[in-house]
Chain A
Amino acid sequence: MRILVNGAWREIEGGQLAAALGELGYEDAAVATALNGEFVAVALRGHTRLADGDRLEVLAPMQGG
């Protein structure tokens, strides 16, 4: 399936968000996720199914003012 990850289309196998994050290289990373504009907590990643065309944001700590 194709999903939009941080603004870029990516081909993934599908399934749960937790598995997709591993597939995309985020395993064990300190990141927060939002699916289609809605925050998805770490505890819910294993229960959140992805669908074709989903928009996924993966954010990490960064410098800020």
Chain B
Amino acid sequence: MLQLYQASLESRLLLGSARYPSPAVLTHAVRAARAEVVTVSLRREGGGERTGQGFWSIIRELGVLVLPNTAGCHSVKEAVTTAHMAREVFGTTWIKLEVIGEDDTLQPDVFGLTEAARILCAEGFEVFPYTTEDLVVAERLLAAGCGVLMPWAAPIGSGRGLNNLFGLSALRAHFPGVPLIIDAGLGVPSHAAQALELGFDAVLVNTAIAQARDPVRMAAAFAQAVEAGLAGRIAGPIEARDFAVPSTPVVGTAFRG
């Protein structure tokens, strides 16, 4: 089981809800992924519109846990205010905390992130910080009160997979008891399997599924990948070697000696 704050989850695949071709495809993808957590957001809405309400009804009917984000926030103040607004609308103390520091890469502003995390944790939020693989930042986030970390694999929506294997492996090794969810940058199911094989507890995927030619099939493929990755991790992989080691016994080999 995956323990995220007070929630015990079977699924290791968290799903973003954006960029799907239609609400119906989103619904089918969530089911195909067997996801128990779906991320949501807040945006401006005009008076008389009820688009947000319609979307919120669809999500509630799925019976999943919602993880609101602070996407698009570039300052501590914006992120904290958005978190307060999300808590009221979605009725949860969970918040996926994003403080963006650079527009081309959507790289987190880790200084603002740690400050916002400190404020929100003190107010009773259960914070899921979108961060980098930096060990010092991770330490600060945990000291601020975060019980989960969400390091990026690669820039959001890039589909590049695990960019810094060494850094991510070091993060995993340094914080063995902390739930670590790879967030952002995965492109194909093998990236998710690799994350679980490395010991990460779960992955959060959005664009790779929502923008696939067949999002529902891709959601199912990611679900299989995280299951395979976790099983492989538990089964205990062999160490990689620099030279060949015969798998067939060499004792009694014909024509030798």
Name A's B-contacting residues (CB within 8 A).
5-7, 21, 24-26, 29-34, 37-39, 41-42, 57-65
**Across-interface contacts of A24 in B (CB, < 8 A):** 47
Within 71-118 of B, Cβ neighbours of A (below 8 Å) are at: 71, 77-78, 81-82, 84-86, 88-90
Given A38-B81, A39-B84 in contact, is the A31-B89 Cβ separation under 8 Å? yes
B132 interfacial by beta-carbon distance below 8 Å: no
Q: Would you give the shortest CB distance from B101 to chain A, in whole angstroms? A: 17
The answer to whether A62 and B88 touch across the interface, beta carbons within 8 angstroms, is no
Q: Would you give the shortest CB distance from A17 to chain B, in whole angstroms? A: 13
Q: Would you give the shortest CB distance from B153 to chain A, in whole angstroms? A: 13
The answer to whether A63 and B19 touch across the interface, beta carbons within 8 angstroms, is yes
Given A32-B86, A34-B85 in contact, is the A65-B156 Cβ separation under 8 Å? yes
Residue ID in chain A nearest B23 by CB atoms: A63
**Across-interface contacts of A64 in B (CB, < 8 A):** 16-18, 39-42, 68-69, 71
- How many residues of B are counted as interface, with CB atoms below 8 angstroms from the partner's CB atoms? 43
**Across-interface contacts of A57 in B (CB, < 8 A):** 44
**Across-interface contacts of A30 in B (CB, < 8 A):** 52-53, 56, 89
**Across-interface contacts of B82 in A (CB, < 8 A):** 59
Our count of residue pairs bridging A and B at CB distance below 8 angstroms stands at 115
The answer to whether B55 and A37 touch across the interface, beta carbons within 8 angstroms, is no
Within 30-59 of B, Cβ neighbours of A (below 8 Å) are at: 39-53, 55-56, 59
B207 interfacial by beta-carbon distance below 8 Å: yes
CA distance A5 to B156 in the complex (A): 30
Given A24-B47, A59-B43, A60-B51 in contact, is the A65-B81 Cβ separation under 8 Å? no
